[in-house]
Chain A
Amino acid sequence: MSMTDRFFKTREFRKLFRNKSAVIAMLVIAAYLFTALFVMCGGITRETCDTVVGQNKMPGFFIQQTPEQRYENATSKFLPMVQRALSRADQTAALADVRLGQERVVNKSAAQLQAIIDRAIELKNELNQSEDLDADSARLPQLKALEDQVAMLKAPLTGWSRLMQNASLVLGTDAQGRSIFLRGLYSIKIAIQIGLVTAAFCVLLGALLGAAAGYFGGWVDHGIVWVYTTFSSIPNLVLLVVLSYAFTDSEVKDTLLPVYIAFGATFWIGTCRVIRGETLKLKRMEYIQAAQTAGFSPFYILVRHVIPNTAHLMLINFSLLLIGAIKSEVILSFLGFGVKGQPSWGIMIRDAGNNGDVVSGFFWEIGTATALMFALVLAFNILSDALQDAFDPKHV
């Protein structure tokens, strides 16, 4: 029986897998991990997230668009783009450059395109005479004709590009016409990445320092307790903000490094405390005393006997830290001190607030970010509870 086998086939793990909600939570988490992996392998890039795919603030798939919205949709992005390209000296090159998400200009001569545009503009001007299209059902055929004209400008989409275009519009667009769905998915990668890196680093650091403090006692203990009391005496959010502020002008400001450092400096403390307490308990156990009597080095005892026996606590803390990191990332990004230059749930929520989405009743962007985050955090909360029940039932 291998080492991992022994760990995973214990009574505790069997108890964990019997817990139905924990299994569902693990499946949800697996789906998120899979999406993050897909994004990381280049499925959705930063550029894709910044591409304009349609009209600004377009509602998502199941909302019947009002005539006003349909009018905006038809006239606001693609039509002026083609118009502008036609007026340029290097017509062919400019036309080839026109792109709206996956949409491209249809392969027709400039004169043909101009004819379509002239007809569209004519229709547009007629529609403009109407005060309120929503109330003016007589003009619906004209609107339909306008939409047809604009559709004639677009090259028909097939296969993958059609799928991508439909997918990117499924949850609507934000105030700059970027796809909310793609940005939301990309944010999964950011959240998972930050969560995993932070949790892995902090659990390892916290476990090592906590075990060392508990096992050696004396000055090592005093030193480590001193360091974490210092860090925990500054309000967490203030420390995070000040830490990422320190990096604002540096070269790494557009990477995730400032966020990692800020989280890495603060999040190990909880784990360190727990593992230190557990080590103090373990130190008095007979098998540790036996190892000491047998003359093993303190380092060997620490690595071979103490730390493996805190593995269950490390597992629980890993799950808890992931939740903490994901939630803090969103708040930090929202305040403008976290992720920069790429989408994240916090940035999506901030954009939605800044562009008056909520006040005007456009909930697609904030709703997407919230729902994606909620499902992930809920799954981790349920999993943490189940882990705690299985491995550390006496915990308060």
Chain B
Amino acid sequence: MFAYIIRKLVYNIPVYLAIVLLVMILLRQRDPVAGLLGKNADAKDYAAKKQELGLNRPFLIQYGDLLRSIFTFQFDEESWTQPGVTVGEKLVEAVPRSLALTVPALVLTSLISIVVAMISAFNRGRFLDKLLVFLAVLGMSISFLVYIIFGQYFGAYQLSQWLGRPVFSIHGYEPGLVNWAYYMLLPVLISVIVSMGYDTRFYRAVMVEETQRDYITTARAKGATRGKVMFVHMLRNAMIPIITRIMITLPFLVTGSILLEQFFGIPGMGYVLLSAIRNNDFPVVETFTAVFAGLFILSIIATDILYALFDPRVRLQ
């Protein structure tokens, strides 16, 4: 197991180097200096700014610097648009906000869609199953944007008008557990509704496949009730693909939902990342993507290990 982890980590080093390189190359297709200086800058200001930002150094040196700061966890480069604030500070500030949105959303979505999928799989082929499957397809066909816009309009704006007092925030964020429901509950609910269709369909397919296996027939033949077979035998075996799917989404918890954060003005990681791209804030974009990619790779390795722990048939090699 230990050897497997080491080998996986080593194997992913070139992947990681390529990710950082790719992001740096893509960003440098544009000249950020002119954008940061404004319109009235002359050539001297331009050269000075370029010097200050370190953009006149050879590309490989810049690449090496970025890698060093990532691998030593020294995120003390300053943001270009907010002088005095380091990238690390921005990261520490943004991540909990994203997590406050995505973790409850993931937990709720997973629980609800597993239950709905079980109801659907239990009634397979009957009217209820067909209805649920159809609703899932309908839900998947509506754009995320529409859910957010109408969710914001009816949930935050109209509901407040109707009740005469603000229930959910339309835009903005304040930290603190007390304020959580006011700022976060509506985005969480929207996020749950959006992902329900996809997750329910997937979990239902997993369960339907499980119910066709021989051990289910055996259990039924020896007299176990349908409910018992469903909850005890089937669910335990269906857990493996379910856990994999949840594990794969874990790194995305950190980036948050870019669109939801954008709409509701929650300055989480997605929001900060997007505005950094718009404002040519290279250090923020590079660091945020690098951190995300690192988490992504680690979580894939962790998924493999969990697999081996849950399923004795899986051997890591």
Contact = CB atoms under 8 A, between A and B. Distances in A.
Contact of B297 (A233, A237, A373): A233
Residue picked from B23, B26, B30, B205, most chain A C-beta under 10 Å = B26
A248 B30 contact: yes
B285 interface: yes
Nearest to B252: A235
Given A242-B27, A245-B26, A331 B143 contact: yes
Interface string B136-149: 01101111111001
Contacts of A377: 140-143
A233 B209 contact: no
Contact of B255 (A231, A235, A346, A352): A235
A238 interface: yes
B153 interface: yes
Contact of A334 (B12, B23, B145): B145
Contacts of A296: none
B145 A242 contact: no
Given A249-B30, A349-B149, A331 B259 contact: yes
A116 B255 CA distance: 63
Interface in A232-291: 233-235, 237-238, 241-243, 245-250
Interface in B254-272: 255, 258-259, 262
Interface string A360-379: 00000010001001100110
A238 B26 contact: no
B202 interface: yes
Nearest to A395: B205
What's the dominant secondary structure at chain A's contact region? helix
Contact of A327 (B143, B150, B241, B262): B143
A310 interface: no
Size bracket, chain B contacts: 35 or more
Contacts of B292: 234-235, 238
Contacts of B273: 238
A378 B138 contact: yes
A226 B17 CA distance: 11
A391 to B, nearest CB: 16
Contacts of B149: 349, 352-353, 358, 366
Given A246-B26, A247-B29, A346-B145, 12 more contacts: A230-B22, A233-B297, A235-B252, A245-B27, A249-B31, A349-B143, A353-B149, A358-B150, A366-B146, A374-B142, A395-B205, A396-B202
5 contacts: A229-B15, A234-B292, A243-B26, A349-B145, A374-B143
